[in-house]
């Protein structure tokens, strides 16, 4: 208010009210005439024409101050009442329909990591799992093969060690540490997850034997143990026996280095990604990089490229469980991780030059699916990270832009799942409706969604667009949470599909070690079948194991002899860990987001 008691206000079109204004531009001038009822001089400032408001001059006279004061008192009382109500509502408990269930997420993550300890093969010192001991110590010594392949992880409920899903598992777990290591550290699980990764990389380093002469070919070991279900002899599939009690032969599947392009690419990716986890151990990190580069360059330069399951000696048995549909995505995947690990732009060049070819060979049922057989969705997200947070520019711009568009489309397909993907009646996304991997694929979808939202948040972008429809970071978060909600018990069965989490969880997990008592006795194959066929709950609780989960109608059978429902696997649990660490907001952590720089530490 100036010396003339003039007040300037804005008119708001359609609002029926006046708003105070600090100056005369685009405003209405009110003259309250508190001291006199006489007219003011006609000396008002004339506003220039405006696109946003019209300017008028009013001469408002207050003739009864008592009414005006009464109006002010009533107005102030109403305002204080509104403020009180707003504060009261803010302190009342709210019902969050889309928030994660009351399950303690740090506890759930700790349990999920314990599952990998339960799957360890080899010499185990101070095992965190009470019903596990040393096993598979003679792995690698079979017929003419005489090498040490002790270590690694048993794949699932059987005692076979498959190299392909093991490498995928280590790649994914390493990715989570690179992005979210501060969260792991805040909950005192960083060293634990790094121990799990190193257990895997130590084993992966044994699988590649480079040629030391023209007479000695390059070799890759793709499998330890027999997965031949039609064999009449005792083996890892026909025999129901704890790993510690195995007495039968453990065959080793061998590939020529150039005849397992996809397997080599995945192992290279795992070693390169893990090198970024162990930057505090420079010699070990360098060892991983050197092995990764050697293996990748071997298959990249080979004229004979093929999937490992096309070679019967290499992946004939594995094809019944982990049949690879192509190798180009693994080569791009390996090259991408080698670029991050080394900073060598030739790897980025290979990845971007080969991306379109890999995309053209993607199977239709695998569109938008990230799992052990298809890495393209994850590659697109990684390339989007590179574009948003570093942007190397030309000549990579075209492919990186395409990857960011694919990532946005991926998010849109998840958010509008009923139109793009099937869903169970209760809301679990079914990325491959005809397979029993619903929870595994929902977990990786949740991980990619949450991770992408963190990328957007780190560059202060509040969401994206699906055509004319917009989505926010909250929408991405809500989708990821909805899938975890389902897995952890918000489903028609009221069942947590992670063992040991919640009040109800599977008690008859399809798992040899968990189903046979840990009582100091040895049980042979015949005796083991008694435990397999028992209707009793497992004597050992396989903490943290995520089973395969429900069918398309949300139904579930807690039956040890129904592995399509109750069998866990290391690849599946890797996706669970990834989704959990992404969604976890730990109060001890200074950030709930990603580490922007760790991925780029070696890139100039």
Task: Please list the active-site residues.
Answer: 510, 558, 567
Q: How many CA atoms lie within 13 A of 236 on its CB side?
A: 26
Whether 559 contacts 565, CB under 8 Å: yes
Say if strands 463-466 and 6-11 run parallel, antiparallel, or are unpaired: unpaired
Which residues fall within 8 angstroms of residue 21, CB to CB, at 6 or more apart? 8, 9, 10, 27, 28
Whether 510 contacts 556, CB under 8 Å: no
Task: Identify the three-state secondary structure at position 21.
Answer: strand
Whether 170 contacts 91, CB under 8 Å: no
Q: Determine the straight-line distance between the first and last CA of the chain, rounded to whole angstroms.
A: 59
Tell me the C-alpha to C-alpha distance, in Å, between residue 330 and each of 166, 260, 296. 14, 11, 10
Kindly write down the DSSP assignment for every residue of 310-378, as one continuous string: GSHHHHTTGGGTS----SHHHHHHHHHHHHHHH--HHHHHHHHHHHHHHHHT--GGGTT--BTTB-HHH
Task: Identify the three-state secondary structure at position 383.
Answer: helix
- Per the DSSP assignment, residues forming a β-bridge with 223 are 162, 253
- Per the DSSP assignment, residues forming a β-bridge with 208 are 220
Which of these, 490, 471, 493, 460, lies nearest to 593 by C-alpha position? 460
* Residue keyed to tokens 């001038």: 29
* Residue keyed to tokens 């991408």: 336
């Amino acid at each position: 208010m100036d010396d003339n008691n003039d007040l300037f206000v804005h008119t708001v079109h359609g609002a029926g009210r006046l708003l105070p204004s600090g100056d005369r531009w685009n405003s209405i001038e009110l003259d309250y005439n508190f001291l006199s009822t006489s007219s003011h001089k006609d000396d008002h400032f004339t506003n220039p024409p405006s696109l946003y408001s019209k300017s008028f001059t009013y001469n408002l006279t207050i003739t009864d101050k008592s009414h005006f004061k009464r109006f002010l008192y009533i107005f102030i009382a109403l305002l204080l009442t509104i403020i009180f109500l707003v504060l009261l509502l803010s302190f009342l408990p709210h019902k969050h329909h889309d928030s994660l269930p009351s399950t303690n997420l740090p506890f759930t993550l700790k349990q999920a990591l314990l599952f990998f300890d339960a799957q360890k093969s080899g010499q185990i010192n101070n095992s965190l799992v009470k019903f596990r001991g040393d096993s598979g110590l003679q792995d690698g010594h079979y017929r003419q093969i005489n090498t040490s392949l002790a270590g690694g992880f048993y794949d699932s409920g059987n005692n076979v060690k498959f190299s392909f899903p093991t490498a995928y598992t280590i790649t994914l777990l390493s990715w989570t540490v690179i992005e979210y290591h501060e969260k792991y550290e805040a909950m005192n699980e960083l060293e634990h997850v790094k121990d799990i990764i190193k257990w895997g990389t130590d084993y992966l380093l044994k699988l590649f034997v480079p040629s030391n002469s023209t007479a000695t070919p390059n070799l890759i070991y793709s499998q330890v143990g027999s997965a031949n279900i039609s064999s009449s002899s005792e083996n890892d599939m026909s025999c129901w026996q704890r790993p510690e009690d195995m007495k039968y032969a453990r065959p080793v599947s061998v590939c020529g280095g150039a005849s397992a392009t996809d397997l080599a690419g995945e192992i290279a990716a795992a070693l390169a990604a893990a090198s970024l986890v162990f930057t505090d151990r420079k010699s070990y990190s360098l060892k991983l990089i050197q092995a990764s580069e050697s293996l990748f360059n071997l298959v990249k330069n080979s004229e004979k490229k093929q999937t490992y399951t096309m070679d019967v000696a290499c992946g004939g048995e594995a094809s019944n469980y982990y049949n690879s549909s192509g190798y180009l995505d693994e080569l791009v995947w390996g090259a991408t991780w080698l670029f991050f690990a080394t900073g060598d732009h030739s790897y980025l060049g290979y990845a971007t030059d080969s991306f379109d070819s890999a995309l053209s060979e993607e199977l239709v049922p695998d569109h938008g699916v990230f799992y052990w057989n298809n890495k393209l969705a994850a590659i697109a997200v990684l390339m989007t990270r590179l574009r948003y947070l570093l942007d190397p520019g030309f000549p990579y711009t075209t492919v990186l832009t395409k990857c960011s568009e694919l990532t946005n489309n991926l998010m849109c397909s998840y958010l509008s799942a009923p139109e793009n993907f099937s869903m169970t009646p209760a809301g679990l996304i079914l990325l491959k409706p005809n397979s029993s991997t619903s929870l595994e694929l929902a977990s990786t979808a949740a991980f990619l969604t949450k991770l992408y939202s963190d990328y957007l948040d780190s560059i202060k972008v509040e969401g994206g667009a699906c055509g004319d429809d917009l989505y926010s970071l909250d929408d991405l978060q809500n989708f990821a949470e909805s899938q975890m909600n389902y897995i952890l018990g918000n489903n028609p069965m009221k069942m947590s599909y992670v063992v040991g989490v919640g009040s109800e969880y599977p008690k008859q997990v399809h798992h040899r070690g968990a189903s046979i008592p840990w009582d100091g006795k040895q049980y042979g194959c015949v005796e083991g079948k008694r435990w397999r066929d028992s209707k009793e709950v497992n004597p050992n609780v396989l903490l943290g194991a995520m089973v395969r989960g429900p069918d398309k109608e949300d139904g579930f059978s807690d039956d040890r002899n129904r592995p399509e429902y109750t069998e866990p696997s290391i690849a599946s649990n890797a996706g669970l860990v990834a989704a959990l660490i992404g969604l976890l907001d730990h109060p001890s952590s200074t950030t709930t987001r990603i580490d922007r720089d760790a991925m780029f530490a070696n890139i100039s």
